[in-house]
Amino acid sequence: MLGGGAIGAVSGLSILSSTSFGQEKPKGKATDKTPSDFDILNLALNLEYLESEFYTYALTGQGIDALGISGDGVGTKGETTNGQKLEFSDQTLFATAKELAFDEQQHVKLLRSLLGQKAVAKPALNLTALGIGFGSEAEYLTVGRAMEDTRVSAYGGAEPLLKSKEILGVAARILADEAYHMGNVRLFIAQKGVQVKPTDNKDILPPPAGSKFFCVDDKALSLIRTPEEVLRIARPFFPNGLNGTIK
């Protein structure tokens, strides 16, 4: 997981904002429409806000602001609604839930540190946009699975667009952490026999709804999605839209 030490090790990369990180291309070139590193990381930050709020509410009944994690930034800051504390009966799942919440909180802090003053604000979030989330461990796992599989595919699809090798290295480590989450949650779903539905026509479902424990294709490569494909899945959770350029 990416803890405080990892954040300290990479927080200095925010100085790249004036050099390679997110460097603007000269106007008039064919690359003008290519998203900058700032654009890509702010899309990731929107989604990390969502994950961190979902997991933190399920664990504590409060959001990340109660932990002193700032949600201020560029754009309109919004309220998080419909979050609730979940009473876990499975102690292994409860221990996992604590790590999930911690990791996603660290991802928010890390991305905000990297982006500096360009970090977007936490937008309004509806944590029960799928109609479920906190009513049972099965609901928690269903929403968590959708989020984790989508996040892995989002990082996999976005990382080739990053221009800074330093930022790419950090993003690869976040992707690896999200993949650990994905595998763990999918295994819980299979063991508990939770029926889940596909998020889109690319989705690869775990047992019992599907046949694969891992979300990979026939070449054993992880599923990837474009930013727009990710947004189609994520938008219901953002009632007033996302903050940033890619939304």
- pLDDT tens, position by position, 123-147: 999 999 999 999 999 999 999 999 9
Q: List all residues 6 or more positions away from 230 whose beta carbon is below 8 Å from its beta carbon.
A: 43, 47, 150, 153, 154, 157
What's the rounded Cα separation, in Å, for the pair 148 and 130?
15
pTM for the full predicted model = 0.87
pLDDT at residue 48 above 80?
yes
Residue length, the chain? Answer: 247
Q: What is the b/e burial string over 6-24, where b = at least 16 CB atoms within 10 angstroms of the residue's CB?
A: bbeebeebbebbeeebbee
| Position 239 confidence tier, pLDDT thresholds 50, 70, 90 | very high
pLDDT of 225 reads 96
Contact assessment for residue 25 and residue 51, using Cβ atoms and an 8 Å cutoff: no
pLDDT averaged over every residue in the chain: 89
What's the rounded Cα separation, in Å, for the pair 110 and 119?
11
pLDDT at residue 52 above 60?
yes
Question: In sequence order, which ranges of 62-119 are alpha helices (DSSP H)?
Answer: 91-115
**Of 20 and 133, which is predicted with more confidence?**
133
pLDDT of 103 reads 98
pLDDT at residue 4 above 50?
no
The CA distances from residue 179 to 148, 182, 186, 214, in Å, are 7, 5, 10, 10
What's the rounded Cα separation, in Å, for the pair 34 and 187?
37
Largest CA distance in the chain: 59
pLDDT of 34 reads 83
Q: What is the mean pLDDT of residues 88-115?
A: 98
User: How many angstroms from the chain centroid is the CA of residue 213?
Assistant: 20
Domains of the chain: 35-237 (1.20.1260)
- Please give the single-letter amino acid code of residue 118: K
| Position 28 confidence tier, pLDDT thresholds 50, 70, 90 | very low
Lowest mean pLDDT among 6-20, 121-135, 177-191, 199-213: 6-20
Lowest mean pLDDT among 2-11, 50-59, 153-162: 2-11
Which residue in this structure is represented by tokens 């009944």? 61
pLDDT at residue 8 above 60?
no
Phi/psi of residue 96, each to 5°?
-65, -40
Radius of gyration of the chain (CA): 17
pLDDT of 13 reads 38
Contact assessment for residue 117 and residue 44, using Cβ atoms and an 8 Å cutoff: no
**Of 68 and 30, which is predicted with more confidence?**
68
pLDDT at residue 23 above 90?
no
Query: What's the token pair of residue 113?
Result: 């540190």
Q: What is the DSSP letter of 159?
A: G
Q: 3-state class of 223 per DSSP?
A: coil
pLDDT at residue 32 above 70?
no
Q: What is the mean pLDDT of residues 178-183?
A: 97
pLDDT of 33 reads 74
What's the rounded Cα separation, in Å, for the pair 177 and 171?
10
pLDDT at residue 220 above 70?
yes
